[in-house]
Each structure stands twice: as C-alpha cells, then as structure tokens.
Amino acid sequence: MTAAAAVAVAAPPEAAPVLDLDARLALVGAVMDERITLAHLAVDVNTAHLPAADPLPEITAPPHLVPQPTPCPYTTPLATVLHQAQTRLQQNGWLRGQLRDEQGAACAIGHIRAVAANRGQADDACAVLLEAIRRGFPDAETIPSWQDAQTSPAPVILAFDRAAELAHTRNL
C-alpha cells in the first residue's frame, strides 16, 4: 500500500454540526408542517368521490329532566301533611337553629307549617312527629332541641317517614 492510499483511508469522517434548541425546534416544526399538509391532502383525495354532503347537523343536548316528586302513598290528612313536609325538606333544604331562610330551607316545624292547611293541623302533625322521634330518642324533649342536636337531615327525614306511617296506621 502506498502512503497516499493510507492517508485517504485513515481520514476521519466529518462530524455532524451541533444544533441549538431553536434550530432543532425549527426543524421539527418544518417536519410537522409537511406531515399536516400531507394529511390534509390525503383527506381531500379520499373524500373527493363523495357527493357534496350537508354540513353535520347540530347536536343538541337532551332536555333537562326535572325529577317529579313521588305521589303521596297516604290517604289520611296528617300522614299526607307529614309526607309533604318530608318531600319539601328534601327539595328545599334543612336548617338548624332557625325556622326558615330566604332560599326556602327550613327546620322540621317550618316545613310542616308550610304545607299544613291550618295551625291546628300543623300542631297535630308536630305532635305525631314528636311521638315518632321519642320512640327512637326517648330523651328528646322538643322537636327543635332534638333537631338541633342532629348533624345531618337524614334522621329528620327518617323521623318524618316514621311519623307519617304512625299517623296513617292511626287513621289521622
């Protein structure tokens, strides 16, 4: 082997230039632009044979369904008042420490007074509710004191349920 041939074989290849971040981002951006252009062209070619279609119909959401209250299962007046008060409590909210607020929430007595036909019917419904409460909580002195001791409306709703059953069985 001659010396010139040895030199030609031993020459190192040229190193690739080092690119900074901006240059690499520019190259990747150019590659992505080319891909997007090709994809757009492919869609145009693949759909060229389709007849001109109407634009896609507007998709509308289904109408908002408002849950309807369950019909009262009781036929007696006091049981009906207690059931309506329970339903009203579930819909409008429950309060402790006050009769009503501006949003419609109320305590148990407030809901009974709101649905009762008169003061006497409200008093009778409260008496049945207190009796139902005392069956589960013998130390309860009054409806407000028992209710203010509760941490959620669940026991109050259950007490309304039991009181309505009690009034219905007594035919009140």
How many C-beta atoms surround the C-beta of residue 145 within 10 A? 10
> Each residue of 116-149: pLDDT tens digit?
999 999 999 999 999 999 999 999 999 999 999 9
Does residue 3 sit within a domain?
no
**Whole-model pTM?**
0.60
> Each residue of 25-37: pLDDT tens digit?
999 999 999 999 9
Mapped onto helix, strand or coil, the DSSP state of residue 94 is strand
Does residue 114 sit within a domain?
yes
Contact, 107 vs 99, CB < 8 A?
A: yes
The per-residue DSSP string of 146-162 comes to: HHHT-SSSHHHHHHHHH
Does residue 159 sit within a domain?
yes
CA-CA distance, 27 to 31, in Å (whole number)?
6
The mean pLDDT value of the chain amounts to 86
> Each residue of 62-93: pLDDT tens digit?
777 777 767 889 999 999 999 999 999 999 99
Helix axis angle, 154-169 to 77-92, nearest 10°: 170
CA-CA distance, 35 to 147, in Å (whole number)?
68
C-alpha 86, offset from chain centre: 22
Q: Domain range spanning residue 155?
A: 77-169
Number of domains in the chain: 1
